[in-house]
């Protein structure tokens, strides 16, 4: 989700995992309810997490599948959409308690330059730097740069599991 100033709206998850000491910055979205399409799930999640009503999210730009041990599943399948929207102040319909139950503890607009600086720190393994963060997908900055440079792909790009 980007605005005309090339800022990206991301959500922060605080997972109790040793390999994510600064948590995880991700594109808004989440799991699907039974029988729900990917598009309908995204529309619902954007309303819950951000208070944003979207009618049609368009077509996906990236997909990835990551198999790993989880409490109720054996991994996750992510479908990423690119929404170019006007900036707004996120106002989730979920309560803070409901958001925290999903490990979501922050939302912010990231200027493109800041995403790229954080990506360089991640790529360089600068884990001790105060600006070090982890994105999902891990190559988020590079993927975002490709979207800005080349536009929406005709078919979704299949990403590595991280």
15 has pLDDT over 60: yes
Q: What is the Cα–Cα distance from 139 to 30, expressed in whole angstroms?
A: 19
Record the pTM.
0.88
As a whole-number percent, the residues of the chain with pLDDT over 90 amount to 65
As a whole-number percent, the residues of the chain with pLDDT over 70 amount to 91
**pLDDT interval class at 140 (50, 70, 90):** very high
Three-state DSSP class for residue 150: helix
**Pick the residue with more confidence: 136 or 22?**
136
Q: Which of 83, 119, 94 is nearest to 7 (CA)?
A: 83
Q: What is the Cα–Cα distance from 57 to 59, expressed in whole angstroms?
A: 7
CA distances to 45, 75, 93 from 90, rounded to whole Å, are 13, 28, 10
Three-state DSSP class for residue 78: strand
Three-state DSSP class for residue 56: coil
- For 29-53, the DSSP string reads --PPPTT--HHHHHHHHHHHHH---
Contact 59, 81 (CB under 8 A): yes
Q: What is the Cα–Cα distance from 45 to 120, expressed in whole angstroms?
A: 30
Q: Render pLDDT for 29-75 as a digit per residue (tens, 0 to 9).
A: 878 888 999 999 999 989 988 999 999 999 999 999 866 555 654 55
């Amino acid at each position: 989700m980007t605005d005309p100033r090339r800022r990206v709206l991301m959500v922060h998850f605080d997972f109790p995992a040793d390999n994510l000491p600064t948590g995880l910055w991700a594109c808004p979205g989440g799991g699907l309810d039974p029988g729900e399409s990917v598009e309908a799930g995204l529309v619902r999640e954007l309303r819950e997490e951000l208070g944003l009503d979207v009618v049609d999210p368009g077509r996906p730009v990236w997909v990835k599948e990551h198999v790993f041990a989880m409490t109720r599943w054996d991994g996750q399948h992510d479908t990423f959409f690119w929404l170019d929207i006007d900036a707004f102040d996120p106002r989730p319909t979920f309560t803070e308690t409901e958001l925290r139950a999903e490990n979501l503890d922050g939302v912010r607009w990231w200027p493109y330059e800041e995403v790229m600086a954080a990506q360089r720190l991640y790529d360089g393994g600068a884990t001790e730097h105060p600006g070090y963060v982890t994105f999902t997908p891990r190559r988020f900055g590079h993927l975002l740069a490709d979207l800005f440079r080349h536009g929406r792909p005709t078919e979704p790009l299949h990403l590595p599991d991280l």
